[in-house]
Amino acid sequence: MLVDELIRALDERGEEALRPVVLVLGDEAHFAEEVVKKLSRVCQRSGIAGFNEDRFIAGDNSVDDVLAAARSIPMMAKRRFVLVRSLERWEGKAEEGEKSEKTSKKKAEAPLDRLAAYAADPSPVTVLVLMAPKLHASRRIVTLAKKEGFLVQCEPLKRNAVASFVSQRARALGHPISGALAAHLGDLIGTDVGAIVDALERLSLYVGPGAPLTEDAVVALVAPVRTAMMWDLTDAVCARDTAKALVALSEIDMARGAELPVLGAIAGSVRKLARFQAAVEAGDSPAEAAEKAGLPPFKASSMSQTVRRMPRGTMGRWLHLLAETDLALKGQGRRGGRAILEGMVLSMCR
**Percent of the chain predicted with pLDDT > 90:** 43
pLDDT band at 102 (very low <50, low <70, confident <90, very high): very low
**Architecture in CATH of 227-349:** Up-down Bundle (1.20)
Mean pLDDT of the chain: 86
Domain borders along the chain are 3-153, 159-221, 227-349
The overall pTM is greater than 0.75: no
Topology of the domain covering 159-221: Helicase, Ruva Protein; domain 3 (1.10.8)
Q: Measured between alpha carbons, how far is residue 67 from residues 49, 55, 96, 123, 271 in Å? A: 21, 12, 16, 10, 49
How many Å separate Cα 296 from the centre of its chain? 26
* Same fold yes or no, 159-221 and 227-349: no
Residue 120's pLDDT band, with cuts at 50, 70 and 90, is very high
Q: For 234-285, what is each residue's pLDDT tens digit?
A: 888 888 899 999 998 888 877 666 788 888 888 888 888 888 888 988 888 9
**What pLDDT does residue 99 have?**
44
Handedness of CA 132, 138, 144, 150 (dihedral sign): positive
Residue pair 282/260 in contact (Cβ under 8 Å)? The answer is: no
**Helical axes 259-281 vs 314-330, angle rounded to 10°:** 160
The residue length of the chain stands at 350
**Burial status of residue 78 (CB atoms within 10 A of its CB: 0-12, 13-18, 19 or more):** middle
| pLDDT at residue number 332 | 63
Q: What does CATH list as the number for 3-153?
A: 3.40.50.300
